[in-house]
Structure 1
Amino acid sequence: MEIKELQEKVELHLSAVWKENVNVSHIHHLSGGACQDNYALDLATKSGKRSLVLRTDKGGSLLSSLSKRDEFKVAELVYKAGVKTPTPVFLEETPEVIGSPFYLMEKIDGKATGRYITKDKELDSYRKTKMVSDLAENLAKLHTVKPSIVLDEELKQKLKLVTTDNYIAIAIADLRQSLDELPEAHPAIELCLSWLETHSPSIDEIVLVHGDFRTGNFMMNAEGLQGILDYEFAHFGDRHEDIAWLCMRDWRFGRLNKEVGGFGDRKDFYEAYQKTSGIPVDPFKATYWEIMGNVRWAIGSAQQTERHLSGKDKGIELAAIGRRTAEMEWEAMRLIEELEHAV
């Protein structure tokens, strides 16, 4: 859809829904990755001017990607839990308006790119002082959202109701199913899944998991953390999943010695998380979920490449992501070897 047409459709629809004249004065496309489309827009009503972001789907969903309705509902829950995240503004569940469901959220300042977060001199002071603790504090707040406080039954089912006893088995089974659906064999992933089955730890509590908590999914500037983004992979699970995902090698953007997102140290993040949550981070559980995360991303990258190779969604970005599969396989096996030698 052309930008001008999108602008006109959004104006007409919001004017009808909000029962006042809405003027979209500016709209432009933002980077949204392989699966999402984001547009920045400025709109004016008699109540005043607002800068918002329109978020919608670009192509097919991957893995456990939530619908726009469910993603919006999760953003509302997280916002109410005190997490620094863009204010959810409006949800359109039907595809009739612009061709697919969408939602609007507050536009926030800052940048999310890996190079900026990990290396830009503008963030040197913040990176050395509060970046780690701010992210740990906000993640701990996100994990205060428990199944018991989610009143929307449809959303609760989409986030997958699991227990501390069955969650890991379900997670591994889901990964095996996704692996089986790929057209080619991945013996390294099979090996890792077998190890995960025989070394599963206990889970202290089922909480809301962001599902993609990493460098690239939070906005920052020299003033600090501006907001956490992208809840499309949210689900109920183990808090250590999010902690481990942030620490994965692939999200360090070349700064491998800084295990937390390419900018911080695990010890500092673990301590800051415990300070806010009152719950200690278990190093073995964190590494276990880091192995699981690498397996999940290995399968996910293979899925994205298959979308390109099959002709379903042609794109150079999808094709390029396929090379990450081998990288994640290697990293998962490296972590397993480290744990085995440590015993």
Structure 2
Amino acid sequence: MDIKELQEKVELHLTSIWKEPVRITEIFHLSGGACQDNYALDIQSKSSNKSLVLRTDKGGSLLSSLSKRDEFKVAELVYNAGVKTPTPVYLEEQTSIIGTPFFLMEKIAGKATGRYITKDKELDSYRKTKMVSDLASNLAKLHTVVPESVKEEELKQKLKLVTIENYISQAIADLRQSLDDLPEAHPAIELCLNWMESHAPNIDKIVLVHGDFRTGNFMMNAEGLQGILDFEFAHFGDRHEDIAWLCMRDWRFGRLNKEVGGFGDRKDFYKEYELTSGIEVDPYKVSYWEIMGNVRWAIGSAQQAERHMSGKDKGIELASIGRRTAEMEWEAMRLIEELENAV
């Protein structure tokens, strides 16, 4: 569907839903990554003018990602928990409007690109003062969403309702199944999975996990954090999982000495998280989930390569992501060695 046709269909549909004439005065495509399509919309109606983002699937989402309905519902939960995130505006579950389900959310200022977040001079002052504390405190607020606070039973199940006793074993079993589904062998990943089975830590509490909390999924400008984005991989799990994902080497964009997202230090992030949450961060658990995160990303990048290689969803971005698998395998094994030597 071309952008003009998309504009006409959305205008017509929102006019019907909102019971007043709606006109889209500007629409353009935003970067949405390998799986998502995002469009910026300036909307005029009698009651208000809005700058919104329309978010929909590109046509080949990863199997582990939430549907647009569930992603929207999670965004509502997180927004209501006080997390700085775009206001959820409207959900459309039907495919008949534009060909796929979609939702609308507030359009916020800022940029999310890794190079901007980690290196741009415009953010120098914010990076040195409040970037770490703002992200840590917002992540702690996100983790206040627990299974008991989710009233919709269907959504609970979609977020993979788990217990502290079975979560890690189930996560490893899911990774083994994903690995088995790949057409080629990955012995390094097998080695890491075996290590994780025998070194699993306990979990203090099951909370909502963002699932992709990293540089690239929050919007910033010189005024500070504008909003946390992209809840398509949200699920119930261990709070340390999100902290570890942010610390992964792959999300530092070349600034390897800044272990938190390429812009901060672990001890500072842990301290700020603890101030908001009242819960102590366990460095061993962060390291364990960092190993798990690298294994997940190794498998995920191999899956994206397979989408390209199989012809199901050809694209140079998918092919290039697939080349990262070996890097994640190496990093996971390096982290295991580091932990073993520290004992």
Normalising TM by the smaller chain, what interval?
A: over 0.9
User: Contact between 2:90 and 2:105, CA under 8 Å: does it hold in 1?
Assistant: yes
CA distance in 1, matches of 2:70, 2:204: 26
Match of 2:142 in 1: 142
SS of residue matched to 2:138: helix
What's the offset of the Cα at 1:167?
A: 0.1
Name the residue aligned to 1:257: 257
Secondary structure of 1:151's match?
Answer: coil
Shift of 1:229: 0.1
- Give the drift of 1:101: 0.1
Give the residue type in structure 2 aligned to 1:123. Answer: L
Residue 155 of structure 1 aligns with an amino acid whose one-letter code is L
Tell me, in whole angstroms, the C-alpha distance in 2 between the residues paired with 1:104 and 1:253.
30
Are 1:39 and 1:55, in contact at CA under 8 Å, matched by a contact in 2?
yes
Identity among equivalent pairs (%): 84
Give 1:59 shift.
2.1
Deviations 1:89-111 (A, max 9, x none): 00000110000000000000000
Task: Report the residue type matching 1:266 in the other structure.
Answer: R
Residue of structure 1 equivalent to 2:247 = 247
Q: Partner residue of 1:15?
A: 15
Aligned to 1:112: 112
Matched with 1:60 is 60
Structure 1: distance between partners of 2:48 and 2:89: 15
Aligned amino acid, residue 143 of structure 2:
H
Quote the residue 1:217 is aligned against: 217
After superposing on structure 2, the runs of 4+ consecutive aligned residues of structure 1 that deviate more than 6 Å are none
Deviation at 1:62, TM superposition (A): 1.1
Matches within 5 A, 1:1-343: 1-343=1-343
Query: How far, CA to CA, are the matches of 2:322 and 2:14 in structure 1?
Result: 40
The alignment partner of 1:168 has SS state of helix
CA contact (8 A) 2:163 2:206 kept: yes
Query: d(CA) in 2 for partners of 1:198 and 1:67?
Result: 34
CA distance in 2, matches of 1:8, 1:153: 36
Aligned partners of 2:160 and 2:300: how far apart in 1? 19
Query: Which residue type is aligned with residue 300 of structure 1?
Result: G
CA distance in 1 between counterparts of 2:323 and 2:193 reads 20
Structure 2, unaligned runs of 5 or more = none
Q: Which amino acid aligns with 2:131?
A: M
- Deviation (angstroms), 1:323: 1.1
State the aligned residue count: 343
Shift in Å, 1:48? 1.7
Asked if the contact 1:63–1:300 (Cα under 8 Å) also holds between the matched residues in 2, the reply is: no
Q: Distance in 2 between matches of 1:201 and 1:148?
A: 23
**Using the alignment, how far apart are the partners of 2:271 and 2:111 within structure 1?**
26
CA distance in 2 between partners of 1:96 and 1:137 (Å): 40
Q: How far 1:61 sits from its partner (Å)?
A: 2.3
Q: How far does the alpha carbon of each residue in 1:209-244 deviate from its partner, in whole angstroms, 9 at most, with x for none?
A: 000000000000000000000000000000000000
Query: Structure 2: how far apart are the matches of 1:59 and 1:177?
Result: 23
Q: What CA RMSD, in Å, does the superposition of the two structures yield over aligned residues? A: 0.4
Instruction: After TM superposition, give the deviation of residue 64 of structure 1 in Å.
Output: 1.5
What is the distance in 2 between the residues matched to 1:63 and 1:12?
Answer: 32
Contact 2:84 2:227 in 1 (8 A): yes
Matches of 1:98 and 1:159 in 2, distance apart?
26
- Alignment partners' CA distance in 1, 2:110 and 2:328: 29
What CA deviation, in whole Å up to 9, does each residue of 1:19-38 have, x standing for no partner? 11000111000000000000
In 2, Cα distance between equivalents of 1:40 and 1:154: 30
Does the 8 A contact of 1:304 with 1:322 survive in 2?
A: yes
The answer (yes or no) to whether the contact 2:85–2:229 under 8 Å persists in 1 is yes
What is the deviation of 1:60? 2.0
Letter in 1 for 2:262: G
* Matched residue type, 1:98: I
**Does structure 1 conserve the Cα–Cα contact (< 8 Å) formed by 2:20 and 2:46?**
yes
SS of match in other structure, 1:103: strand
Q: Structure 2 CA distance, aligned partners of 1:293 and 1:76?
A: 26
Give CA deviations for 1:233-256 in whole Å, capped at 9, x if unaligned: 000000000000000000000000
Query: Are 2:36 and 2:61, in contact at CA under 8 Å, matched by a contact in 1?
Result: no
Whole-angstrom distance in 1 between the partners of 2:163 and 2:103: 31
